[in-house]
């Protein structure tokens, strides 16, 4: 869904105004009569006559009725609002999950024989897609240290066609030098597609396209939806990359339901206030954890103990509610005792909802260009937390109980 021209406004305002076209929120004689677009459930779209039907394929444009697979105003409004979130964006495609968004973006730019450079800290299913599907498809993937910065140029060869960044990285939260990586890659070969998984920060806290990326990918399942009740993904692209992204998504038959789009649109409108609270609560808890004797290191981009903290300060406008901490010694069983003693933190995958979550993380399983634990550090046991919107005193009391259980187990 490509955007109409917009006037520059602050991001908090754009998430409120984005996608609310009068023709999607009213009737012909009362345009813009309601605030939100209704749920348009539709497979068949009807044409006035056979001449209009015939001309349909020639007007394969965003925001025009054609057939249900191309969406209807509910999906168009969400896509347009997500485009408004990312300065420098031209259009957004929606996908049935975050993983489908990642694979849809990669397939839009890769062909057999190409080389993909992927951050070693990528979301694990991105790596699995590279090692399984992409390998079979004839694409070779090479992994790079997320701290590489401009050094990425030494990895670029004449077959390199795409780079998949993710900042901060999954599980270990290294912040990458996105502008340096983009500049070095462009200098080496202007045809390389620069992709970033922007799920952690969203376009609100990291203007990824403005920093040089061509496509910003989000698992909307997380903070955009924000209520742990919908699976959804998005890719927002520049004008140069949007047409091939759209073409590939249509060829693969990607479409998302109007109900899910409506829920995501509802979530998006409060993204700014929710993220600010996740940020404040997570920071307070991260600082508290850093002072506990059971904790060796806190991996939160806004804390100096996190690799790339200076880059976070330079490029991001905020931090969200997801981070990890590394335990001082212990064992797998002691870590399990910690997590099992928590009552306010659910144990489960995903994050970005209103509720707090905790899981054990073992990055060593999915690293090949870097090592875990990092050289010189003997503490391998880490826990990832998502800090929800509960009261922080209550969450800290819960974590204190967990750390006590860890000590008793050791």
Ligand X SMILES: *Cc1c(COP(=O)(O)O)cnc(C)c1O
Q: What is the 3-state secondary structure (H, E, C) of 51-111?
A: HHHHHCHHHCCCCCCCCHHHCCHHHHHHHHHHHHHCCCCCEEEEECCHHHHHHHHHHHHCC
The values of phi and psi at residue 400, to 5°, are -60, -40
- How far, rounded to the nearest angstrom, does the alpha carbon of residue 272 sit from its chain's CA centroid? 16
Query: Which is catalytic among the residues 222, 246, 269, 384?
Result: 222
169 binds ligand X (CB under 6 A): no
**Residue 221 found at the interface with ligand X (CB under 6 A):** yes
The yes or no reply on residue 206 touching ligand X (CB under 6 A) is no
Beta carbon nearer to ligand X, 98 or 203: 98
Cα-only R_g, the chain: 22
Whole-angstrom distance, CA of residue 95 vs CA of residue 90: 17
Which of 177, 197, 260, 315 is catalytic? The answer is 197
- The answer to whether 197 contacts ligand X (rule: CB under 6 A) is yes
Query: Does residue 3 carry a catalytic annotation?
Result: no
| Active-site pick, 41, 54, 64, 69 | 69
- Pick 24 or 173: Cβ nearer ligand X: 173
Report the nearest approach of ligand X to the CB of residue 319 (Å). Answer: 15
What is the footprint of ligand X within residues 340-379 (CB under 6 A)?
A: 350
Helix (H) / strand (E) element for 386: namely strand 382-386
Interface residue with ligand X, options 1, 2, 89, 99 (CB under 6 A)? 99
The b/e string for 304-340 (b: 16+ C-beta within 10 A; e otherwise) is eebbbbebbeebbebbbbbbbbbbbebeeebbbbbbe
Length of the chain, in residues: 410
Q: Is 391 a catalytic residue?
A: no
Torsional sign, CA 38, 44, 45, 46: negative
267 is a contact residue toward ligand X (CB under 6 A): no
| Span of 19-27, 94-102, 379-387, 399-407 interacting with ligand X by CB under 6 A | 94-102
Bridge partners of 142, per DSSP, are 117
Active site residue 222: yes
* Residue of 76, 123, 143, 316 interacting with ligand X (CB under 6 A): 123
Residue 123 annotated to the active site: yes
Residue from 231, 252, 339, 369 in contact with ligand X (CB under 6 A): 231
Task: Give me the least distance between CB of 166 and ligand X, in Å please.
Answer: 6
Residue with smaller CB distance to ligand X, 62 or 120:
120
Look-up of token digits 């260009």: 369
Q: Does 40 bind ligand X (CB under 6 A)?
A: no
Query: CA 350 to CA 356: how far, in whole Å?
Result: 11
CB burial of residue 343 (10 Å; 0-12, 13-18, 19+): exposed
Contact pattern from residue 50 through residue 89 relative to ligand X, giving x for each residue in contact according to CB under 6 A and a dash for the rest: ----------------------------------------
Asked if 141 is part of the footprint of ligand X (rule: CB under 6 A), the reply reads no
Would you tell me which residues interact with ligand X (CB under 6 A)? Answer: 97-99, 123, 170, 197, 199, 219, 221-222, 231, 233, 350
Catalytically annotated residues: 69, 123, 197, 222
């Amino acid at each position: 869904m490509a955007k109409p021209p917009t006037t520059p406004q602050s991001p908090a305002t754009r998430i409120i105004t984005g996608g609310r076209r009068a023709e999607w929120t009213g009737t012909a004689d009362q345009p813009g009569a309601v605030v939100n677009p209704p749920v348009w459930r539709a497979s068949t779209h009807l044409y006035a006559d056979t001449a209009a039907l015939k001309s349909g394929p020639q007007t394969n444009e965003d925001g025009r009725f054609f057939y249900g697979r191309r969406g209807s105003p509910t999906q168009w409004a969400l896509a347009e609002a997500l485009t408004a979130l990312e300065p420098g964006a031209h259009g957004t495609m929606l996908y049935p999950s975050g993983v489908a968004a990642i694979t849809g973006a990669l397939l839009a730019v890769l062909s057999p024989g190409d080389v993909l450079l992927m951050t070693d800290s990528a979301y694990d299913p991105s790596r699995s897609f590279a090692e399984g599907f992409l390998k079979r498809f004839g694409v070779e993937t090479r992994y790079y240290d997320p701290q590489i910065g401009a050094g990425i140029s030494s990895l670029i060869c004449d077959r390199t066609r795409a780079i998949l960044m993710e900042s901060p990285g999954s599980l270990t939260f290294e912040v990458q030098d996105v502008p340096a990586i983009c500049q070095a890659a462009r200098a080496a070969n202007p045809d390389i597609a620069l992709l970033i998984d922007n799920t952690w920060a969203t376009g609100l806290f990291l203007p990824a396209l403005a920093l040089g990326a061509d496509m910003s990918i989000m698992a909307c399942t997380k903070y955009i939806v924000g209520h742990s009740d919908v699976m959804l993904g998005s890719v927002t692209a520049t004008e140069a990359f949007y047409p091939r992204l759209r073409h590939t998504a249509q060829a693969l038959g990607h479409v998302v339901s109007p109900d899910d789009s409506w829920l995501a649109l509802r979530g998006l409108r409060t993204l700014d206030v929710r993220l600010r609270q996740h940020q404040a609560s997570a920071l307070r808890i991260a600082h508290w954890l850093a002072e506990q004797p059971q904790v060796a290191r806190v991996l939160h981009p806004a804390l100096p103990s996190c690799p790339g903290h200076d880059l976070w300060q330079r490029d991001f406008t905020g931090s969200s509610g997801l981070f990890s901490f590394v335990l001082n010694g212990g064992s797998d069983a002691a870590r399990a005792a910690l997590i099992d003693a928590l009552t306010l933190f659910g144990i489960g995958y995903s994050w970005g909802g209103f509720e707090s979550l905790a899981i054990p993380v073992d990055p060593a399983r999915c690293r090949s260009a870097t090592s875990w634990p990092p050289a010189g550090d003997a503490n391998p046991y880490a826990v990832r937390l998502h800090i929800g919107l509960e009261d922080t005193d209550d969450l800290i009391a819960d974590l204190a109980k967990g750390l006590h259980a860890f000590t008793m187990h050791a």
